[in-house]
Amino acid sequence: MPAEIFADGDQDYIEKFNTVAQQAFDGDAAAGRLDDHIDGTADKHGASAIVNTPAGGIAATDVQAAINELDGDKQDANANLTALAGQTGAADKVSYWTAAATLALTTLGSFGRTMIAWADAAAARTGLGLGTLATQNGTFSGTSSGTNTGDQTSVTGSAGSLSGATFAAPGTIGGGTPGAATFTTLTATGQVSLGGAAGAEALRALVTASAVNRFELAGSTTGAYIGLAAQGSDTNIGIAYQTKGTGGHDFYTRGNRQVVIANAANAVNSIALYGAATGSTPLILTVGGDANVSLNLSSAGTGAVNLYTGSTARLGFQVSDVASAVNFVGVSGAATGGNVVVQALGTNTNVPLGLYGKGTGAVFTVVRGAVGLYVDNPASAVNYAYISGAATGSPVSFTAAGSDTNRSITFITAGTGTARFSNKIYPGTPAAATQTAAGLSAGTGAPSNSDASDGDFYFRSDGGALTSIYQKRAGAWVGIV
């Protein structure tokens, strides 16, 4: 029988199997038949064809079923049992778990076994030699050298303090469920641990040599805030909150995180927040070790950065996300006499700046409180006005641009208003090219020979025959119409 069929310690099943085997193959005759039937591989019988007589705890009637029954009844291998089997017992030792499927031995002497045998708390107090003081609940009174009597809910003294006394190790107060107690001063020469033993406590107060400032915690009445304050003899006392490692500061309301102050490795710059007196504005300011410190505001993912007024009721400014953006808008103020600037910036060499209206909305500029330029567009516009400056000696250009091959420019006045030009006009050539050989100007009275250039024309509004239209030739005006 293969040994792996049985788990460690299944001695009963091994003995049952031996019994079954002896019944199935009893005597010399059986041995002869066994030689006849399973010698070689051609005619051997399967275990299910060999009869088994049920006996003991085995109900199977053939050998294969008996094996299966034994395998189903055995105890499976178990890591905890293996760990237990690996222990070496010794006097005054007991096993205990140190990790999953891991046991170790520790000493359990006669005193420990006696304590375990105590039936209840009363038996434990008797065994430890504790009197009725161990069951009291009230107020201690008396002196440290005398007998404390009365109820034992609190420890009090003439100064309302607990100091100058030596507590036996581990030096804890309120090891069980504490009653009401009033301590004006809790003094320690090292540290004070609350809510657990040192190293596993909820709060630890460290001693600072010659300390004059401190934390103060205050409860509150209905509707008021709980107080956490810096107090002490200094006039101005700051509070420093510090996390460990890369941990951040998280602030919650109603169980939801509202503010996170995350860790920045080797940070030397920071944000300062200032409130304001009446009539002034609060301030968000960058401060730190660097002389010049920028301030970044960033959204997550494709979220925008929004600026609101009216307690977030009115969105006043939005910076939207553009995937893979490398160019951006720069806004700068100006010193006295300078210009405030809105400009396109970025990594590209040439970056246009677009101003967009929404829907049918126009784009306009306001100077001295009035509209100075108003730019509108018809539906499905494909052409537009293109204005460009010029280098020294060249004219500023006002051009019709767009997708159409032929694009006109229309100047429209309102009512009886006129379109006026302060200097002469150079009309284009018949081939639609620009030219500066002949300019047009107009006015009243005869033109001055000191004005204009040869080839220019002058239209006189009060002229007559040969004095209505002039052309300048060889430095003098000649009437031609």
Output the tens digit of pLDDT for each of the chain's 481 residues. Answer: 444 444 554 556 566 666 656 655 555 555 555 555 555 555 566 777 788 888 877 888 888 888 888 777 777 778 888 888 888 888 888 888 889 889 898 998 888 889 889 999 888 888 888 877 777 765 555 554 545 554 444 444 444 444 444 444 444 454 455 445 445 566 666 778 888 888 888 998 888 889 999 999 999 999 999 999 999 999 999 999 999 999 999 999 999 999 999 999 999 999 999 999 999 999 999 999 999 999 999 999 999 999 999 988 899 999 999 999 999 999 999 999 999 999 999 999 999 999 999 999 999 999 999 999 999 989 999 999 999 999 999 989 989 999 999 999 898 999 999 888 888 899 989 998 889 999 999 999 999 999 999 999 999 999 999 999 999 999 999 999 9
CA triple 104-108-110, angle to 5 deg:
165
Reduced to 3 states, what is the DSSP secondary structure of residue 303?
A: coil
d(CA 387, CA 424): 20
Q: What is the largest CA-CA distance in the chain?
A: 160
Cβ pair 71, 5 in contact under 8 A? yes
Residues 6+ apart with CB under 8 A from 440: 424, 425, 426, 427, 456, 457, 459
> Radius of gyration (Cα) for the chain, nearest Å?
51
CB atoms within 10 A of CB 120: 7
CA triple 340-341-342, angle to 5 deg:
135
Segment (H or E) for 114: helix 110-117
Pairing of strands 139-140, 102-107: unpaired
H-helix segments, 218-297: none
Is the entire prediction scored with pTM above 0.85? no
pLDDT, residue 162, reads 46
Pairing of strands 469-473, 476-479: antiparallel
Length of the chain in residues, anyone?
481
d(CA 357, CA 226): 51
Q: How remote is the C-alpha of 270 from its chain's centroid?
A: 18
CB atoms within 10 A of CB 78: 13
d(CA 395, CA 388): 9
d(CA 273, CA 259): 14
pLDDT, residue 48, reads 79
- Residue type, position 222, single letter: T
Place of tokens 């006394």: 165
For residue 313 the two structure tokens come to 């009721």
For residue 339 the two structure tokens come to 């210009």
Residues 6+ apart with CB under 8 A from 288: 267, 268, 269, 270
Q: How remote is the C-alpha of 420 from its chain's centroid?
A: 62
Residue 307 vs residues 300, 312, 320, 353: alpha-carbon distances, Å: 16, 8, 12, 22
pLDDT, residue 220, reads 94
Residue 265 vs residues 125, 245, 269, 323: alpha-carbon distances, Å: 56, 10, 11, 28
CB atoms within 10 A of CB 193: 19
**110 φ, ψ (degrees, to nearest 5):** -65, -35
Reduced to 3 states, what is the DSSP secondary structure of residue 34?
A: helix
d(CA 369, CA 109): 97
d(CA 272, CA 146): 58
pLDDT, residue 316, reads 93
**144 φ, ψ (degrees, to nearest 5):** -65, -25
Burial group, residue 12, by CB count within 10 angstroms (0-12, 13-18, 19+): middle
Cβ pair 203, 193 in contact under 8 A? yes
Q: Which residues pair with 283 in a beta bridge?
A: 274
d(CA 101, CA 282): 61
pLDDT, residue 60, reads 81
d(CA 215, CA 192): 14
pLDDT, residue 35, reads 55
